[in-house]
Amino acid sequence: MIYTVTFNPSLDYVVHVPRFSEGIVNRTVREQLYPGGKGINVSLMLRNLGVESMALGFVAGSTGESITRFLQEKGCRTDFITLPEGMSRINVKLKSEQETEINGQGPYITEDAIQALYEKLDKLKIGDVLVLGGSIPHTLPSDMYERILARLYGRGISTAVDATGELLLRVLKYHPFLIKPNETELAELCCRVPQSDEELVCCARELQAQGARNVLLSLAERGGMLVTEQGEIHRLYAPYGETVNSVGAGDSMVAGFLAGFMQCGDYYEAFRTGIAAGSATAFSEWIADEMLVRQLMQRIK
């Protein structure tokens, strides 16, 4: 079973305004409402690809109830911890000539709620996969990722971590099964800007030397690269298409990789599924459906 954790889920209110202007009343031409958060995006794509997962995390208030209900209606299993006060955040995504985001703060996460999450994670079994992604809310300890991976270390549980900077570097010693930096994040982690595919490989291997098992590099419209724990190097280019939405594309890439690996146990096929899933979501208004992912898999070079 794959488990995803979203510490600070949201309702993403997406509004389309043809020509946004400050200081006046602007009229939308279209609105959409989606649940948001990196772990939630991974669970949604996994469900679309026919792989079961369990979405964990913290929710609060009526917005938290809406997030849970939405996921369940989409066929996702949830086991969120309901906080006693506050409300899950609402993020406003304004799409006009430029994209603008206003992200909410989210509820206060109590110590009792943190302990409740630990108890759920303690029930994971050998062979399970845990996905952690995104930033740490200010109400949680800044080393929350490290605490979780230390708690699970040595129990035969694979972890996938999609985080940046020190947040990621501090957990490499626990040998995560998968990490997914993009090109900018890789440059920050390795303290230099890679100028070629060969330099990308060198940076990935530096992260492996620190403990990462498989490094999945997201290279936006240029596709991606996979450096495996077996020493293999795979490079694939993204299929051509119009980018409609960048939100959730990286999460879809992680989900596609995990789904592909669980279904066939082959790193190359997992990588190909990941590239297709990430591209499919980039070409869609929200998390892409399975049909588009499978279509794009046939176009990947």
* CATH classification of the domain holding 228: 3.40.1190.20
Average pLDDT over residues 259-264: 94
Which of these ranges, 9-18, 52-61, 90-99, has the smallest mean pLDDT?
90-99
Half-sphere exposure of 32 (CA within 13 A, CB side): 12
User: Above 80 in pLDDT, residue 243?
Assistant: yes
Beta strand pairing call for 129-133 and 158-162: parallel
CB 180 within 8 A of CB 149: no
Give the pLDDT of residue 220.
85
Supply the range of the domain harboring residue 202.
2-18+30-297
Res. 170 pLDDT band, cuts 50 70 90: very high
**What is the rounded average pLDDT of the residues 179-194?**
89
Whether the Cβ atoms of residue 168 and residue 189 lie closer than 8 Å to each other: yes
23 lies in a domain? no
Residues 286 and 275 sit within 8 Å (Cβ to Cβ): no
Nearest-CA neighbor of 114 among 93, 86, 137, 88? 137
Q: What is the pLDDT of residue 247?
A: 83
Confidence tier at 97 by pLDDT (50, 70, 90): confident
* Separate counts of helices (H) and strands (E) for the chain: 10, 14
pLDDT at site 12: 94
User: Quick one: pLDDT at residue 134?
Assistant: 84
Residue 99 lies in a domain: yes
Residue 25 lies in a domain: no
| pTM, 2 dp | 0.94
Rounded Cα–Cα distance for residues 125 and 156 (Å): 7
Q: For the residues 221-228, what does the mean pLDDT come to?
A: 93
Q: How high is the pLDDT of residue 275?
A: 97
- pLDDT above 80 (res 189): yes
Specify the range with the lowest mean pLDDT, choosing from 38-47, 203-212, 217-226.
217-226
Q: Round to whole Å and give the CA distance between 52 and 178.
A: 19
Span 125-141, mean pLDDT? Answer: 92
Pairing of the two strands 77-78 and 30-36: unpaired
- Res. 132 pLDDT band, cuts 50 70 90: very high
The mean per-residue pLDDT over the stretch 126-144 comes to: 92
Of 199, 235, 243, 198, residue with least CA distance to 219: 235
Spatial distance between the Cα atoms of 181 and 162, rounded to a whole number of angstroms: 7
pLDDT band for 11, please (50, 70, 90 cuts).
Answer: very high
> Which tokens is 145 given?
């990722």
Query: Residue with structure tokens 């997201």?
Result: 218
Question: Would residue 285 count as lying in a domain?
Answer: yes
pLDDT band at 72, cuts 50/70/90? Answer: very high
pLDDT of 190 > 80? The answer is yes
Which stretch, 50-54, 132-136, 242-246, has highest mean pLDDT? 50-54
Cβ(257)–Cβ(270) under 8 Å? yes
The answer as to whether 24 is a domain residue is no
Range with the lowest mean pLDDT among 38-42, 59-63, 94-98?
94-98
pLDDT at 246: 79
Average pLDDT over residues 2-7: 97
Q: Is the pLDDT of residue 82 over 90?
A: yes
Distance CA 242, CA 221 (A): 10
d(CA 277, CA 51): 13
Domains in the chain, number: 1
Query: What is the DSSP pairing of strand 2-6 with strand 129-133?
Result: parallel
Catalytic residues: 251
Q: Is residue 124 part of a domain?
A: yes
The mean of the pLDDT values for the chain is: 94
Q: 26-47, pLDDT tens digit by residue?
A: 999 999 999 999 999 999 999 9
